[in-house]
A and B are shown apart, each in its own frame.
Chain A
Amino acid sequence: MEKFTTFEGIAGSLLLDNIDTDMIIPKEYLKTITRAGLGKFAFAEMRYNLKDDSLIEDFVLNQAPFNKSSILISSKNFGCGSSREHAPWALGDFGLKVIIAESFADIFFNNCFKNGILPISLDKTTILELVKETQQGENLKIDLPNQEITTISGKKISFKVEEFKKECMINGWDDISLTLKDESSIKDFEEKQKQSQPWLWI
């Protein structure tokens, strides 16, 4: 995974609650067997008139400069619905690196970290301030090591992130190799469970 430390980018805002994974990547596009290339289908049903593939002009990510957004600002319960990792794959491939929202659905939240996308939860007032400061296409600066967002006017907003997830993102660690360091504990566990709950072994 690519390392994530600091970066600066344009923030588009989509202030609807319950942006679900079917909106982020409609199922027609789940049929791929690779991870790459889903960006053009991100938000497909909100972005295109599917009858003729033309752009829906008033959708924010279709409007310059927000079509180059690397940050998305949204409202409550972002990413609810299915477990499809195609959702973060599509958003990442579109170019998004950070999603700021009032709250996130659990599975989506987890999936973001596995794909180098940083989900940040902030309260509604702060989100509305950020929207105001970015509505002409101004950049936001994101600093993960210091857990801080800086706006164009120099305002600093701190955010929370779990320590372990942060470490993994900053270092670009691959989860599996990390877990395999615990190989012997896993083996011990298996041996014990075979004794205590043998019926779990088929």
Chain B
Amino acid sequence: MAKTLYDKIWENHEIKREEDGTSLIYIDRHLVHEVTSPQAFEGLRLAKREIRQLSKVLSVADHNTPTHTLSLDDCNDSSKIQLETLNKNAKEFNLRYYPLGDKNNGVCHVVAPEKGFVLPGATLVCGDSHTATHGAFGAIAFGIGTSEVEHVFATQTLRQKPVKNMRITIDGTLEKAVTAKDIALFVISQIGTAGGTGYAIEFAGSGIESLSMEQRMTLCNMGIEGGARVAIVAPDQTTFDYLKDKPLSPKGENWEKAVAFWKSLHTDTGAKFDKEYTWKASEILPQVTWGTSPEDCINVTQSIPKVDNPTKERALKYVGLNGGDKIAGTPINWVFIGSCTNGRIEDFRSASQILKGKKVAPNVRAIAVPGSGLVKEQAEKEGLDVIFKNAGFEWRLPGCSMCLAMNPDFANPEERVASTSNRNFEGRQGYLSRTHLMNPAMAAAAAIEGKIADARQYL
């Protein structure tokens, strides 16, 4: 029978299946960070259990880490405790760990691919919903809760039902200044934030095949904002080229064998999807969110919709905007370029193209936060840091930073942020702060103009 890529990988990891359809599946890779792990380590300790396969774990400190200093003394007490707890647990359990200050440290979803930790056909989990990112490699990757983190530590498995299959096909070539971020936001605006609930989304079509690995990661990263725990792109030469010679990717004869196997990882012709959508790449323009859910999204030439239900009325009131007004021209206070969505080298290249020789508007505070130490290093090698700094950006140390504002980087009440992150929920970037999601070039254009602007005019 013709099978989807998701079903193939799932079956390949199924240890057993209960009568009610629940599978016990094997987990090949486990990413750990400081926020969702302390209670899981505590659980292991209390039950006197060990981590079943230590080599399958990679851990980083990212959510709370300061980005203006390497000293924990500038963090508030509870952040400090959480970071110190991970340091302690990493030591006690002997984890592969890149702590604050290590040049390999950074946001877990940026670091793991750089290391070749995620491979096509693997299962990967993390106590973080943006784990979907790693589906870019043709892996089943999804976020789990802390109880499941503990379960994976102790058993290297999870008990779950497979989800349904959805395919989203994007055909053709993207217009200039339109990126994977815009595909993601556009799709979510069409299917809604619950549109993908209960599905694994496979992204396919020529518009996807032509994307770089970094863009594919951006796209899959946002899968969860459309409700899908799993987003996946079939592996191809682009994937193999990216993985070749990464520290943890297979070497020598194993590499040859692996690639031969990875080439078989695609959806069979005629496989049935429970839901299908198709769009033309040329339909997609640079996107901007106007509300407090990623589905509250329009393109930069459009007007904010007039709303008529309590959820959306609350959203408009929260962001302090009016239905019917143009989104372009909305004044902003902050620009944040970074996160596991858009904190990779290509993102900084794309923003720097626009920032070159320009200045950030005087009403704006702008920060650039590389997704990892290696991204930072590469950007500095290319001189991008100089472009950012000359434009008036603060060039920071890696971390989650203003994506969720658990560290000292946050906006004040009613301040408006042009942000390359993935969530515009109430309070996400600071209590009562207002977020507009967009791609890095758009965020750079907003920085220059001091208001939401169309990046296309700068390219």
Contact = CB atoms under 8 A, between A and B. Distances in A.
A110 B229 CA distance: 12
Interface size class on chain A is 35 or more
Contacts of A125: none
Given A23-B426, A182-B15, A31 B81 contact: yes
Contacts of A83: 36, 127-129, 131, 143-145
B129 A107 contact: yes
Contacts of B39: 33-35, 85
Chain B's interface size range is 35 or more
Contacts of B397: none
A32 B78 contact: yes
Contacts of B154: 176, 179-180
A16 interface: yes
B386 interface: no
Interface in A3-51: 15-18, 20, 22-23, 26-28, 30-35, 45, 50
A157 interface: no
Given A83-B145, A175-B151, A180-B154, A199 B257 contact: yes
Nearest to B196: A106
Contacts of B142: 107
A60 interface: no
Contacts of B423: 22, 81
A82 B194 CA distance: 13
A26 B423 CA distance: 13
B49 interface: yes
Contacts of B293: 18, 20
B47 interface: yes
A199 B156 contact: no
Contacts of B15: 182, 185-186, 189
Interface in A38-82: 45, 50, 75-77, 80-82
Contacts of A76: 194
Nearest to A175: B151
Contact of B16 (A32, A182, A193, A199): A182
Contacts of B198: 106
Given A31-B406, A163-B20, A200-B122, A77 B79 contact: no
B390 interface: no
Interface string B145-177: 111101100111101110100000000000000
A176 B47 contact: yes
Interface stretch (B21-29, B350-358, B441-449): B21-29
Contacts of A153: none
A103 B78 contact: no
B458 interface: no
B404 A27 contact: yes
B193 A186 contact: no
Given A50-B431, A179-B24, A23 B425 contact: yes
Contact of B129 (A18, A82, A104): A82
A193 B123 CA distance: 13
A77 B197 contact: yes
A97 interface: no
Contacts of B36: 83-85
B241 interface: no
B147 A80 contact: no
A182 B25 CA distance: 11
Contact of B194 (A22, A80, A178): A80
A88 B229 CA distance: 18
A111 interface: yes
A179 B155 contact: yes
Nearest to B78: A31
Given A31-B406, A50-B431, A185-B16, A197 B261 contact: yes
Interface of B: 15-16, 18, 20, 22, 24, 26, 28, 35-36, 38-39, 42, 47, 49, 53, 55-56, 63-64, 76, 78-79, 81-82, 85, 119, 121-122, 127-129, 131, 142-148, 150-151, 154-157, 159-161, 163, 193-194, 197-198, 227, 229, 248-250, 254-255, 257-258, 261, 293, 309-311, 314, 404-406, 423, 425-428, 431-432
Given A31-B82, A85-B145, 7 more contacts: A31-B406, A77-B194, A83-B129, A88-B145, A107-B143, A111-B147, A182-B16
